[in-house]
Structure 1
């Protein structure tokens, strides 16, 4: 049994990111795989902007140490990830990049699927995230989930994906779970 964290990629008050994460979790749980899925909401960690002289785990600052320790422990206990990312200015959000940057080794030798959404299906954000994750030794799977703000969201606020995405999402989830099982053997 592997543990897959569904990582939210936005902290904005009016975000739709959590809706997408919840939909992915429900979809994955119906697939009857040998995996546990949980939503890991970066908003709950309330990271200050990463602006340290040394990595936060080495910094001696009380304001971030508890948050960093909790984040480190959560990511370390997971075997793989499905990142839910909106596209902002052809990239991922600063809050997601900030959360990723707070730790390092905890990410390594794990698999990740990516589910993006935006006016252009979050293609640029997905490519950006793949590069970032590759630098942390995370194996990103293909294909990736790609949702349109215009056709998969009602009034751009309520997530209602078209059924045409189901086959792709099954592939993203299956491949993430399978790669997570395989990579678990080398950690």
Structure 2
């Protein structure tokens, strides 16, 4: 299984990249036979969703070169862990736009969440669950929610044993969901 750790914040001074790199290292060290890669939204050259044909009707055929490249990136993965902050009680608009550019590339694939914020990013994940289910993804029940007071020191990411356990639980469920689907296919 090839899993993307998808960092969704593009802000200057963001924590997402640091959290994503830490998560990638943790996941790669599991030695579970799966491949993990980082996708950093800040490194993607994407436009706003302006296509005349909505992704739901495009069936994976896009006109915009940037969307075509994004489609190729996303469809290369079997599952995802979204690293998402919470902005104003929801997900970042730029991450939602990147998600909305596509549809068939997400369908049927499992997705876990590694969220962070003052309240752990829980409200962002609640919104994400509705969004991903709408395009046929399989959101995991388990989520890793990192509250600033528990996983940050002086506003810098400071992972601890609990942080690692939260991520491990998401990874375990992600792999089990995929194996369950593979067996039933």
| 1:155 paired residue number | 154
* Worse-matched range after superposition: 36-45 or 88-97: 36-45
> Following TM superposition, by how much is the alpha carbon of 1:59 offset from its aligned partner in structure 2, in angstroms?
6.2
> Following TM superposition, by how much is the alpha carbon of 1:14 offset from its aligned partner in structure 2, in angstroms?
1.5
| Matches of 2:182 and 2:68, distance apart in 1 | 22
> Following TM superposition, by how much is the alpha carbon of 1:185 offset from its aligned partner in structure 2, in angstroms?
6.5
Q: What runs of 5+ residues in structure 2 fail to find an aligned partner?
A: none
Q: 1:144 to 1:17 in 2, by over 3 A?
A: same
SS, match of residue 15 in structure 1: coil
Q: How does 1:113-132 map to 2 (within 5 A)?
A: 113-132=112-131
| Matches of 1:155 and 1:138, distance apart in 2 | 36
Asked if structure 1 preserves the Cα contact closer than 8 Å seen for 2:47 and 2:66, the reply is no
How many aligned residue pairs are there?
181
Q: Does 1:5 align with 2:19?
A: no
* TM-score, with length taken from structure 2: 0.90
Q: 1:53 to 1:7 in 2, by over 3 A?
A: same
Asked if structure 1 preserves the Cα contact closer than 8 Å seen for 2:113 and 2:143, the reply is yes
Q: What runs of 5+ residues in structure 1 fail to find an aligned partner?
A: none
| 2:34 paired residue number | 35
* TM-score, with length taken from structure 1: 0.89
Kindly report the root-mean-square deviation, in angstroms, between the aligned alpha carbons of the 2 structures.
1.9
